[in-house]
Amino acid sequence: MSAQLIPSILELRHALSDVRRAGRSIGLVPTMGALHAGHGRLIERARQQTDCVVVSIFVNPIQFNQRQDYDRYPRPLAEDLAFCSAGGVDIVFAPSVEEMYPSAQLAMVEVARVTEHLCGKSRPGHFRGVTTVVLKLLNIVQPDRAYFGEKDVQQLATIRRMAIDLDVPVEIVGVPTVREEDGLALSSRNRHLSPLERRIAPALYRALQAAGQLMASGTTDPQQIKTKALATLHPFPQIRVEYFEIVDPDEMQPVERIAGPVRVAVAAWLGTTRLIDNILCRVPSGSAGPFV
Amino acid sequence: MSAQLIPSILELRHALSDVRRAGRSIGLVPTMGALHAGHGRLIERARQQTDCVVVSIFVNPIQFNQRQDYDRYPRPLAEDLAFCSAGGVDIVFAPSVEEMYPSAQLAMVEVARVTEHLCGKSRPGHFRGVTTVVLKLLNIVQPDRAYFGEKDVQQLATIRRMAIDLDVPVEIVGVPTVREEDGLALSSRNRHLSPLERRIAPALYRALQAAGQLMASGTTDPQQIKTKALATLHPFPQIRVEYFEIVDPDEMQPVERIAGPVRVAVAAWLGTTRLIDNILCRVPSGSAGPFV
């Protein structure tokens, strides 16, 4: 079965009101296209949990900090459509920029605190662009559930908090990161890596794992963990680390001592390509808690 | 029939999902309580256009600039309930502050430009508080239509723009201002006026009308209109004008020349009470347009 391509908001609303009237649940997978197995996992999960799966494909201009990054973002629509059809997607919503922003976008949604550190620091306005377009998509599709990858963990936490704080009637579902065999997290941006950069890139995941092992063996000082984990990257001068942080999983605030589950998150540049990755870590039960 | 009082979001969602399943349309009248005939007109309109009318009563702390104003805002819940029952309201949603803001409200909605002038200038953060709570209410109730008074014209324009820009699936309905016989616009704040202030207050409406008459007779220079209209307030030194502006009806921007429909809007203090009012004006057809 091929997925139905709908470029217009009005047409999509009509199609979905029929779905809703038939008592079928709706799952939304918001994407910027250039679909890969990571998106495939989101689609798979949506198919398991909902009756009608909508994938939106929209390279959202208001979340890019640099025109160049926006311009060079890949847009292989025909391949994406085939990917969606093969994955059992019911509807692909692929609006134009004019369809999504017919006039100046004056209303914006901002989530404080959660967007303060990590990517929020170096990408001013980025998350405001993300939350604004995601809220628009949620209002257009009105899904029962919406699916986001854990690779973009700050985005996931921000959208989750937006949905809670604004009482959006949707369940936000986070889906674990899909990785290449060598550990590199799948990303549409990986295709920009040179062969050498591609060989080096998995070092980021290994640095995260090193941090996780230190925690597992009882280290609770984030600074100590950071220093040792970053040392694993020293053999690769091509990697320019933007941040390497240990944060709480809900509000993405750097922790002063590890005493519960945390996210270890990294952003780094390889040449002109910016990669991000993260893992969830816990201190082993019985080990140093806050009162030991 | 008495209106059903519901203080909990979950309970309200349940009640309304039954309404929706029965194919009945829902109208929302968001209020801060202290209901008067102005609200009555909103309720009346909602009853004409929708099957199930929900009035929300919530004095929203995040839209007040001064703690004192928030504290002294009237909260006559029993009277409001009786008013709603008499008016044929189906459900009164009256949540506590804890119900609406169970944790720090990190997600906020802001509408640029429309909130720049008039009340936006003297009340920083006010409209952000309004749009945020209104979006929450729209997400909780998911009405087909929501009703707002034209008295708060900048609020109406801001909410309208929010709904358009964020693709909120609701029709925002503006309802004309209800006035006392002497012209004073109904407001929950009128009860704070001393007898003298109450006698003087209608001068604001007369100043707006004076501006309207100048336009009707062909004056197109806003500055000239402003000066003459404000002169009508000179006999009342008790009135401290905060602004008197002529703006376009959609984005609330001061116009440089009157060439189409405009809103004339005023805010003024009488003692410790701040009153606002506005009227819609048009240049007479055939008179000075932009190219004459």
Give me the residue from A107, A112, A113 closest to B166, CB to CB: A107
A 92-111 residues with CB < 8 A to B? 104-111
- What is the pLDDT, as a whole number, of residue B289? 44
Which residues 38-67 in chain A show a CB within 8 A of chain B? none
Of residues A108 and B283, the one with the higher pLDDT is A108
User: What percent of chain B has pLDDT above 70?
Assistant: 97
Report the C-alpha gap between A221 and A216 in whole angstroms.
12
Asked whether the predicted pLDDT for residue B1 surpasses 80, the reply is no
Per residue in A46-68, pLDDT (tens digit) is 999 999 999 999 999 999 989 99
| Domain regions of chain A by residue span | 4-175, 188-281
Biggest CA–CA distance in chain A, Å, is: 60
Q: Is the pLDDT of residue B288 over 70?
A: no
Q: What is the pLDDT of residue A1?
A: 77
Query: Which residues, in sequence order, are CB contacts of A68 under 8 Å at separation 6+?
Result: none
- Chain B's closest residue to A161, CA to CA, is B107
Which positions of A are catalytic?
A: 39
Question: Best interface-test mutation with B: which of A14, A99, A139, A155 has the largest number of B CBs within 10 A?
Answer: A139
Q: Judge: B135–A111 Cβ closer than 8 Å, yes or no.
A: no
Q: What is the pLDDT of residues B204-225, one digit of tens each?
A: 999 999 999 999 999 999 999 9
pLDDT exceeds 80 at position A178:
yes
Which residues of chain B have a CB within 8 Å of the CB of A136? 165-167
Query: A99 to chain B: which residues are within 8 Å by CB?
Result: none
Count other C-beta atoms under 10 Å from residue A209's C-beta.
Answer: 16
Helices B77-86 and B37-49: crossing angle, nearest 10°? Answer: 40
Instruction: Give the CA distances from residue A285 to residues A210, A217, A221, in Å, rounded to whole numbers and listed in that order.
Output: 19, 11, 17
Which among B110, B114, B168 has CB closest to A110?
B110
Q: Give me the residue from B136, B166, B169 closest to A142, CB to CB.
A: B169
Mean pLDDT along residues B122-141: 97
- pLDDT for A285: 66
In order of A203, B168, B254, B279, the CA distances from B152 in angstroms are 58, 21, 17, 11
Nearest-CA distance from A147 to chain B in Å?
19
Tokens 């008295």 -> residue: B151
pLDDT bracket for residue A284 (50, 70, 90): confident
Distance CA B66, CA B60 (A): 12
Q: Give the number of beta-carbon pairs within 8 Å between A and B.
A: 76
Q: Does ipTM surpass 0.85 in this model? A: yes
Domain B188-281 in the same topology as domain B4-175: no
Is residue B144 scored above 60 in pLDDT? Answer: yes
Among the listed residues B148, B153, B150, B149, the one whose alpha carbon sits nearest the alpha carbon of residue B115: B153
Q: Is the pLDDT of residue A288 over 50?
A: no
Asked if A166 has any chain B CB less than 8 Å from its own CB, the reply is yes
Q: Which residues of B are catalytic?
A: 39
Instruction: Sort out which chain B residues have CB atoms less than 8 A from A112's CB and list them.
Output: 106-108
Q: List the single residue in B107, B112, B142 with the smallest CB-CB distance to A109.
A: B107
> Going by CATH, does the domain composed of A188-281 fall within 3.30.70.260?
no
What are the tens digits of pLDDT across the range B219-271? 999 999 999 999 999 999 999 999 999 999 999 999 999 999 999 999 999 99
Q: Decide if pLDDT at B286 tops 70.
A: no
Residues of B in contact with A110 (CB under 8 A): 107-110
- Residues A174-199: what's their mean pLDDT? 97
Closest CA to A168 of A28, A17, A61: A28
- Summarised one tens digit per residue, pLDDT across range A215-262 is 999 999 999 999 999 999 999 999 999 999 999 999 999 999 999 999
Nearest chain B Cα to A104, which residue? B165
Residues on chain A touching B105 (C-beta within 8 angstroms): 165
Question: Distance (Å) from the C-alpha of residue A91 to the closest C-alpha of chain B?
Answer: 19
Taking CA atoms, what residue in B is nearest to A168? Answer: B139
Helix (H) or strand (E) holding A70: helix A67-72
Determine the pLDDT at residue A289.
45
Span A110-126, average pLDDT: 96
Nearest CA in chain B to A20: B21
Cα B246 to Cα A285: distance, rounded to the nearest angstrom: 66
Residue B275's SS3 state is strand
**Pairing label, strands A273-281, A262-270:** antiparallel
pLDDT recorded at residue B290: 41
Check whether A292 has a pLDDT greater than 50. no
Across B25-43, average pLDDT: 98
B4-175 belongs to which homologous superfamily?
A: HUPs (3.40.50.620)
pLDDT at B141 over 50: yes
Note the pLDDT of residue B282: 81
Which of B162, B203, B157 is CA-nearest to residue B184?
Answer: B203
| The pLDDT value given to residue A253 | 98
pLDDT in tens, B180-206: 999 999 999 999 999 999 999 999 999
Contact B169 A136 (CB under 8 A): no
Give the best residue of B166, B170, B248, B253 to mutate against chain A (max A CB count within 10 A).
Answer: B166
What pLDDT does residue A69 have?
Answer: 87
